Structure 1
Amino acid sequence: MSTGFLHALFHPLVSLELFSRPNGDATSSVDVSYILTAFMAIGIYLVFKRYQNARNRPVLFEWPAPSAADPGFSSVTITNPSLESHLSNPNLAPSMPFAGRKYITCYDPSTSLFLATLPADSAFEIGEKIGLAGRAQLSWRSSTFTERKRFVRSLMRWLVDNREVCARVTCRDTGKTLVDAALGEILTTCSKMEWILAHGEQVLRPEKRHSNLTLSYKTSKVYHEPLGVVAAIVSWNYPLHNAISPLLAALFSGNAIVIKCSENVVWSTTWFIGAVKECLRACGHDPNLVQLVACYPEEAEAVTTSAFIKHITFIGSETVGRKVAQAATVHLTPVNLELGGKDPAVLLPGVNINQYASMWMRGVFQNAGQNCIGIERFIVHSSQHDELVRTLTERTKRLRFGSVMSPSAEGYIAPVDCGAMISRDRFSELERLINNAVEEGASLETGGSRWKHVYLEEGAYFSGTVLGNVENGMEIAQTELFAPVALVLKYDTIQEAIDIANGTRFGLGASVFGPDQNLCLKVARRLDCGMVAVNDFAIFYVCCLSQDLPFGGTKASGYGRFGGPEGLRSLTAPKAIVVDKWPWLMQTSIPAILDYPVRSLNQSWDFISGLIGVLYADRWSEKFSSLKRLIRASW
Structure 2
Amino acid sequence: MSPPFTPLFIDGEWRPASTGATFDVLNPLTGEVVGTSAAASAADCAAAVDAAQRAFDGVWGATSPSARRDLVLRVADLLATEKYRDKIVEAGNAETCTTEDMLGSAWHGQIAYLRGHAGFSSIPMGETFPSAIPGGRVFMKRAPYGVVFGIAPWNAPINLTIRAIVVPILCGNTVVIKCSEDSPRTQAIVIELFEAAGLPKGVINYISTSREDAPARTAEIIAHSMVRKISFTGSDRVGRIIAMEAAKHLKPTVLELGGKSPVVILADADVPRAARAVASSTLLNSGQICMSTERVIIQRGAAPAFLDDLAAIFKQVSAGDVSTPYAGARIGALFSEASAENVVALLKDAAAEGAKILVGDASRQGPLVQPHIVTEVKPGMRIWDRESFGPVVIVAVVDTVDEAVALANASDYSLMAALWTRDIYNAFGVSEKIRSGYVNINGPTVYYEWMRSLAGLGGSSGYGYFNVDEWTQLRMSVLHSEKEPPYPVVSRLNQ
> TM-score, normalised to structure 2's length?
0.88
Spell out, residue by residue over 1:386-417, the C-alpha distance to the aligned partner (whole angstroms, 9 max, x if none): 222221111101013333434x4xxxx88653
Q: 2:394 aligns with which of 487, 495, 501?
A: 487
Greater mean deviation of Cα atoms: 152-161 or 122-131: 122-131
How many residues are paired up?
Answer: 475
Contact kept in structure 1, 2:118 and 2:170, CA below 8 Å: no
Q: 1:462 aligns with which of 369, 379, 389?
A: 369
1:439 aligns with 2:352: yes
Contact kept in structure 1, 2:293 and 2:445, CA below 8 Å: no
Contact kept in structure 1, 2:291 and 2:446, CA below 8 Å: no
RMSD between superposed Cα atoms in Å? 2.7
Spell out, residue by residue over 1:292-347, the C-alpha distance to the aligned partner (whole angstroms, 9 max, x if none): 11113333212222221111001111111111111112322111111111110111
Contact kept in structure 2, 1:107 and 1:113, CA below 8 Å: yes
Contact kept in structure 2, 1:168 and 1:178, CA below 8 Å: no
Q: Counting helix residues as a fraction of each chain, which structure ranks higher?
A: 1
Residue 245 of structure 1: how far off its partner (Å): 1.3
Q: 1:189 aligns with which of 110, 127, 132?
A: 110
Matching residue of 1:157: 77
Matching residue of 2:458: 555
Matching residue of 2:215: 298
Cα gap change, 1:415 to 1:491, in 2 (>3 Å): closer
Residue 538 of structure 1: how far off its partner (Å): 4.0
Spell out, residue by residue over 1:482-503, the C-alpha distance to the aligned partner (whole angstroms, 9 max, x if none): 1100111111111111111111
Partners of 1:495 and 1:218 in 2: CA distance: 54
Partners of 1:417 and 1:511 in 2: CA distance: 24
Whichever residue aligns with residue 569 of structure 1, its letter is: D
Residue 215 of structure 1: how far off its partner (Å): 5.6
Contact kept in structure 2, 1:222 and 1:576, CA below 8 Å: yes
Equivalences for residues 49-128 of structure 1 within 5 A: 102-128=21-47
Contact kept in structure 2, 1:232 and 1:258, CA below 8 Å: yes
Equivalences for residues 219-618 of structure 1 within 5 A: 219-281=137-199, 285-286=200-201, 288-295=202-209, 296=211, 297-299=214-216, 300-406=218-324, 408=325, 416-452=329-365, 460-538=367-445, 541=448, 545=449, 547-563=450-466, 567-579=467-479, 587=482, 589-590=484-485, 596-598=490-492
Structure 1 residue runs without a partner (length 5+): 1-65, 70-95, 453-457, 581-585, 600-635
Equivalences for residues 130-149 of structure 1 within 5 A: 130-138=49-57, 139-149=59-69
Partners of 2:2 and 2:296 in 1: CA distance: 42
1:166 aligns with 2:88: yes
Contact kept in structure 2, 1:540 and 1:549, CA below 8 Å: no
Spell out, residue by residue over 1:461-505, the C-alpha distance to the aligned partner (whole angstroms, 9 max, x if none): 210111112122322111110110011111111111111111111
| Percent of aligned pairs with the same amino acid | 22
Matching residue of 1:93: none
Partners of 2:128 and 2:361 in 1: CA distance: 57
Whichever residue aligns with residue 552 of structure 1, its letter is: A
Where 1:486 maps in the other structure, the secondary structure is strand
Higher alpha-carbon Rg:
1
Contact kept in structure 2, 1:507 and 1:556, CA below 8 Å: yes
Where 1:403 maps in the other structure, the secondary structure is coil
Greater mean deviation of Cα atoms: 359-368 or 551-560: 551-560
Partners of 1:190 and 1:260 in 2: CA distance: 22
Partners of 1:426 and 1:176 in 2: CA distance: 16
Whichever residue aligns with residue 215 of structure 2, its letter is: E
Contact kept in structure 2, 1:111 and 1:403, CA below 8 Å: no
Q: Which has the higher contact order (CA 8 A, sep 6+)?
A: 2
Q: Counting strand residues as a fraction of each chain, which structure ranks higher?
A: 2
Where 1:575 maps in the other structure, the secondary structure is strand
Cα gap change, 1:226 to 1:476, in 2 (>3 Å): same
Whichever residue aligns with residue 190 of structure 1, its letter is: I
Spell out, residue by residue over 1:52-80, the C-alpha distance to the aligned partner (whole angstroms, 9 max, x if none): xxxxxxxxxxxxxx9989xxxxxxxxxxx
Whichever residue aligns with residue 548 of structure 1, its letter is: M
Cα gap change, 1:97 to 1:572, in 2 (>3 Å): closer
Cα gap change, 1:448 to 1:219, in 2 (>3 Å): farther
Partners of 2:241 and 2:437 in 1: CA distance: 22
Residue 353 of structure 1: how far off its partner (Å): 0.7
Where 1:400 maps in the other structure, the secondary structure is strand
Partners of 2:414 and 2:317 in 1: CA distance: 29
Whichever residue aligns with residue 527 of structure 1, its letter is: I
Cα gap change, 1:595 to 1:432, in 2 (>3 Å): closer
Residue 148 of structure 1: how far off its partner (Å): 0.8
Partners of 1:559 and 1:298 in 2: CA distance: 19
Contact kept in structure 1, 2:373 and 2:392, CA below 8 Å: yes
Cα gap change, 1:450 to 1:440, in 2 (>3 Å): closer
Partners of 1:449 and 1:272 in 2: CA distance: 37
Partners of 2:156 and 2:197 in 1: CA distance: 21
Partners of 1:379 and 1:265 in 2: CA distance: 35
